[in-house]
């Protein structure tokens, strides 16, 4: 299973920000994270003619009663903002199942 790579992380009151490296497997892998949080996957965002590389300077929003998630697509990175009354410590394991936190210690970015 392909894992996403988290290259930045920020935690604020009621929100967490994850910066992911932009990879061809983002749609399918991040959709698995969404499903574990009880949110519909990103299927409407991509299809055979629309790849993650086509998504630049755009934003998606996914939500349910517990999570409000914005997904910002940049040229090299994808920034995901998760707003929730649930502390990050209670949902981070869902993300860690599908993403590596700072796999190369020299490239860490914490804000």
Q: What confidence tens digit (pLDDT) does each residue in 4-60 have? A: 999 999 988 889 999 999 998 898 899 999 999 999 888 666 666 677 888 889 899
Segments making up each domain of the chain, as ranges: 4-102
pTM, two decimal places: 0.85
Three-state DSSP at 54 gives helix
CA distance 25 to 72: 16
CA distance 25 to 38: 20
Q: What is the CATH T-level fold of the domain 4-102, as seen in this structure?
A: TATA-Binding Protein (3.30.310)
């Amino acid at each position: 299973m392909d894992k996403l790579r988290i290259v930045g992380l920020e935690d604020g009151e009621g929100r967490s920000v994850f910066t992911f490296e932009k990879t061809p497997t983002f749609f399918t892998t991040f959709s698995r994270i969404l499903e574990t949080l009880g949110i519909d996957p990103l299927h409407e965002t991509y299809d055979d003619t629309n790849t993650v590389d086509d998504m630049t300077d755009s934003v998606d929003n996914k939500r349910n009663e517990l999570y409000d998630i914005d997904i910002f697509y940049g040229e090299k990175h994808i920034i995901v903002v998760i707003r929730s009354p649930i502390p990050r410590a209670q949902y981070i394991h869902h993300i860690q199942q599908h993403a590596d936190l700072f796999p190369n210690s020299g490239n860490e970015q914490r804000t």
